[in-house]
């Protein structure tokens, strides 16, 4: 088993995480998995930055609480602090966190004032198209 410490970006907004793989893994497989993890980690950070300000007026609202909790859990799991705790990230866990945020966001979208589905889709997909694909 091999543990890889991946880092990307400037010092203050650096993306970093640990990744475990078999020592027999091929380089192209490892590179693909590192890219996928890094992209999801960055997507979660972008979603948190976009949605937290929108949720401030609804602090304490029971309807917004599941989305706040999903954002908090995803942000905690995707945090570069996981390196300090020696915990590797998993693509599947990150993907599940993004899907949970999407599910909760679809429930809360009328509360946040999303008048149409395009505005909702932009938040979920816009970051992936413009900010990510770090290693490709």
Q: Output phi, psi for 89, to 5 deg.
A: -95, 155
Tell me the domain boundaries of the chain: 2-131
pTM (global) more than 0.95:
no
- What does the pLDDT profile of the chain (136 residues) look like in tens digits? 999 999 987 766 678 999 999 999 999 999 999 999 999 998 999 899 988 998 998 888 898 999 999 999 999 999 989 999 999 999 999 999 999 998 898 888 778 777 666 666 666 665 444 444 444 3
CA–CA dist 44, 113 (Å, integer) = 21
SS3 (DSSP) at 106: helix
CA–CA dist 18, 77 (Å, integer) = 12
């Amino acid at each position: 088993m091999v543990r890889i410490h991946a880092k990307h970006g400037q010092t203050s907004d650096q993306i970093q995480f640990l990744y475990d793989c078999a020592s027999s893994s091929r380089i192209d497989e490892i590179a693909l998995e590192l890219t996928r993890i890094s992209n999801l980690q960055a997507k979660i950070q972008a979603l948190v930055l976009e949605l937290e300000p929108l949720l401030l007026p609804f602090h304490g609202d029971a309807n917004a609480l599941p989305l706040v909790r999903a954002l908090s859990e995803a942000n905690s799991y995707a945090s570069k602090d996981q390196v300090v705790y020696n915990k590797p990230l998993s693509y599947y866990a990150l993907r599940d966190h993004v899907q949970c945020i999407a599910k909760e966001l679809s429930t809360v979208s009328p509360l946040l004032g999303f008048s149409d589905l395009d505005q909702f889709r932009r938040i979920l997909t816009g970051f992936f198209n413009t900010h990510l694909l770090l290693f490709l």
